[in-house]
């Protein structure tokens, strides 16, 4: 099962995971809106202005594909917020992230709130509106360059599902996963119809299968991690099947909230299954620290798939050098052909509205390093 014929953006050498640092004016606008001091229309105007500016900034630095920076979202998970049929996974939970206090220091492990494990179905899922389509249409009107759109993947959504609390609606919990896939396919269809040719799926939950505390949490909930991984990989593939002419990327990381991480463990334990089964044309893989393990796991990547190495950190203000990035590319090329490699930041720069602890200038300098490294390697 494959997405379809090759997409036009399969071979991009420099990629962008999705979220970018919000300007202070936009963060202030969100805060005023949440406190009742700003109307929805005024918030939208602030978002429009910020998106126009960040698109221009990406054009200026020379990125081949642009994003809207997820400037209309409180967190990267908001792509699924306009779906009816559940409570707590929508806007209320995601907005609550703005009120969280993370005890760990930036760069350390931080646990997700317990509320994120309580998605209760109130009826069968159905798509009410498609925020990703609206985001794409506006951003594409701002530029002649291709625009990439990001979605939250079904594995991450299912990991929050409260099967016992939802049994009246979904006696079979896997039916909930099937409905998640159906909704996601509706979102993808709307994006493709609007002209989007690069859809990026965020699947940070896939690294839970190499993280001992996460595996233990699955077992305490009565879930068999091996069965869960097999079923959710099939769901990830089902979202993108039979969509010719569209490039699909899928991003794996270990958490990225305000410089914190949530999981650890190398890809090796799941690489043969995950890298061998996912049918997305591009695998965007976090590789900025030793927590990801070595590039040896890349030997299991399907032939023809592009591996996007996330070798520039969004958690650190230190700007990597071009030589450092080139060295990482050369190391990875021992396991993947050079023409099937690309590079990107390890994750978004602002998975939540607060953003990570670096400046906008440092963010753009990191992209410049990636672009110069790519020019040197693939010129």
**Domains assigned to the chain:** 24-378 (3.20.20.210)
pLDDT grade, residue 113 (50/70/90)? very low
Which residues on neighbouring strands pair with residue 200, listed in sequence order?
150, 249
Answer whether residue 328 shows pLDDT above 90.
Answer: yes
Tokens read off for 130: 């498609």
Contact 341, 329 (CB under 8 A): yes
* Rounded Cα–Cα distance for residues 144 and 149 (Å): 15
pTM: 0.90
Range scoring the smallest mean pLDDT among 288-302, 303-317, 345-359: 288-302
Mean pLDDT confidence for 104-111: 48
pLDDT grade, residue 292 (50/70/90)? low
Answer whether residue 362 shows pLDDT above 90.
Answer: yes
Tokens read off for 279: 């049918």
HSE at residue 333, side-chain half, CA atoms within 13 A, is: 13
* Rounded Cα–Cα distance for residues 77 and 58 (Å): 23
Contact 70, 76 (CB under 8 A): yes
Q: Which pLDDT score, from 0 to 100, does residue 263 have? A: 67
pLDDT grade, residue 167 (50/70/90)? very high
Answer whether residue 91 shows pLDDT above 80.
Answer: no
Which is more confidently placed, 357 or 47?
47
Burial letters for 257-269: b for 16+ Cβ neighbours within 10 Å, e otherwise? bbbbbbbbbbbee
Which residues on neighbouring strands pair with residue 109, listed in sequence order?
261
Q: To 5 degrees, how large is the angle CA 134–CA 347–CA 26?
A: 50
Mean pLDDT confidence for 291-296: 81
Tokens 């607060």 appear where? Answer: 354
* CA-wise closest residue to 311 among 334, 331, 339: 331
Mean pLDDT confidence for 79-95: 67
Distances (CA, A) of 153 to 199, 346, 359: 11, 18, 29
3-state secondary structure (DSSP) of residue 290: helix
Answer whether residue 112 shows pLDDT above 60.
Answer: no
pLDDT grade, residue 93 (50/70/90)? very low
* Rounded Cα–Cα distance for residues 238 and 19 (Å): 25
Contact 117, 160 (CB under 8 A): yes
Tokens read off for 270: 């799941």
Phi-psi group of 59: left, alpha or beta (phi > 0 → left; psi -120 to 50 → alpha; rest → beta): alpha
Segment holding 19, helix H or strand E: none
């Amino acid at each position: 099962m494959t997405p379809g014929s090759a997409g036009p953006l399969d071979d991009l050498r420099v990629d962008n995971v999705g979220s970018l640092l919000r300007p202070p004016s936009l963060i202030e606008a969100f805060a005023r809106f949440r406190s009742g001091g700003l109307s929805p229309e005024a918030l939208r105007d602030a978002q429009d202005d910020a998106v126009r500016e960040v698109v221009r900034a990406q054009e200026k630095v020379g990125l081949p594909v642009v994003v809207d920076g997820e400037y209309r979202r409180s967190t990267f998970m908001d792509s699924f917020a306009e779906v009816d049929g559940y409570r707590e996974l929508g806007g209320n939970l995601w907005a609550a992230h703005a009120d969280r206090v993370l005890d760990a220091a930036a760069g350390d492990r931080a646990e997700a709130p317990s509320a994120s494990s309580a998605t209760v179905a109130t009826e069968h899922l159905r798509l009410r509106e498609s925020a990703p389509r609206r985001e794409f249409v506006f951003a594409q009107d701002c530029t002649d360059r291709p625009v990439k759109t990001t979605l939250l993947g079904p594995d991450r959504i299912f990991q929050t599902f409260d099967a016992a609390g939802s049994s009246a609606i979904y006696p079979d919990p896997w039916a909930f996963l099937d409905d998640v896939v159906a909704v996601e396919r509706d979102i993808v269809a709307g994006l493709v119809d609007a002209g989007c040719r690069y859809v990026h799926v965020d699947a940070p939950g896939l690294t839970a299968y190499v993280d001992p505390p996460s595996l233990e949490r699955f077992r305490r909930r009565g879930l068999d991690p091996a069965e869960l991984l097999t079923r959710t990989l099939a769901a990830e593939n089902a979202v993108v099947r039979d969509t010719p002419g569209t490039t699909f990327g899928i991003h794996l990381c270990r958490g990225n909230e305000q410089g914190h991480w949530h999981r650890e463990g190398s890809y090796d334990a799941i690489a043969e299954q995950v890298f061998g089964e996912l049918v997305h044309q591009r695998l965007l893989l976090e590789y900025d620290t030793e927590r990801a393990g070595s590039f040896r796991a890349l030997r299991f990547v399907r032939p023809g798939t592009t591996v996007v190495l996330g070798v520039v950190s969004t958690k650190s203000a230190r700007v990597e050098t071009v030589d450092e990035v080139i060295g990482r590319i050369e190391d990875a090329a021992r396991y993947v052909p050079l023409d099937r490699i690309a590079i990107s930041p390890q994750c978004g720069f602002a998975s939540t509205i607060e953003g990570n602890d670096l400046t906008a200038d440092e963010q753009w300098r990191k992209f410049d390093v990636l672009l110069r490294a790519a020019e040197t390697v693939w010129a």
